[in-house]
């Protein structure tokens, strides 16, 4: 019943080194507002005004969340005229969002 981990046992030293990095990433995702934004971006790029409209908070507050995610390289931007489009910046973040979707959002079809 304890899920088997893939082949190699975890390397505690490397884990300690990466823990801060991954914890920082998780912390950046650990906000309902940011997580919803990221889930939206996981499907493709989105303009800021749409993210603001779906957020329930002010434009300034959303922009601060976006800035935080930019600073930690979770998202990247592209400008088209006055509009700025956000998208997921890395394969790792995309994979993690996919995993979260599988674990928490996909209706359990294959569960004992």
How much of the chain is helix, strand and coil, in % rounded to 5? Answer: 55, 10, 30
CB 58 to a copy of itself: min, Å: 18
CB 48 to a copy of itself: min, Å: 17
DSSP code of 89? -
- Cβ burial of 66 (10 Å; 0-12, 13-18, 19+) is buried
Stretch that binds a copy of itself, among 36-44, 58-66, 67-75, 76-84 (CB under 8 A): 36-44
Applying CB under 8 A, which of residues 19, 53, 57, 61 lies at the interface with a copy of itself? 19
Strand order in the sheet with 83-88: 46-47, 83-88, 75-80
- Cβ burial of 19 (10 Å; 0-12, 13-18, 19+) is exposed
CB 110 to DNA: min, Å: 33
Applying CB under 8 A, which of residues 49, 73, 78, 106 lies at the interface with a copy of itself? 106
Q: Kindly list the residues in this chain that would bind a copy of itself in the complex (CB under 8 A).
A: 2-3, 5-6, 8-12, 14-16, 18-24, 26-27, 29-32, 34-36, 39-40, 42-44, 54, 91-92, 94-96, 98-106
């Amino acid at each position: 019943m304890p899920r088997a981990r893939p082949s190699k046992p975890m390397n505690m030293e490397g884990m300690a080194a990466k823990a801060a990095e991954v914890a920082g990433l998780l912390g950046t995702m650990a906000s309902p507002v940011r997580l919803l934004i990221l889930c939206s971006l996981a499907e493709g790029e989105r303009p800021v005004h749409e993210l603001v409209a779906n957020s329930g908070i002010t434009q300034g507050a959303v922009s601060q969340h976006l800035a935080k995610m930019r600073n930690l390289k979770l998202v990247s931007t592209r400008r088209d005229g006055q509009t700025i489009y956000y998208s997921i910046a890395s394969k790792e973040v995309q994979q993690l969002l996919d995993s979260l979707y599988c674990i928490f959002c996909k209706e359990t079809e294959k569960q004992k």
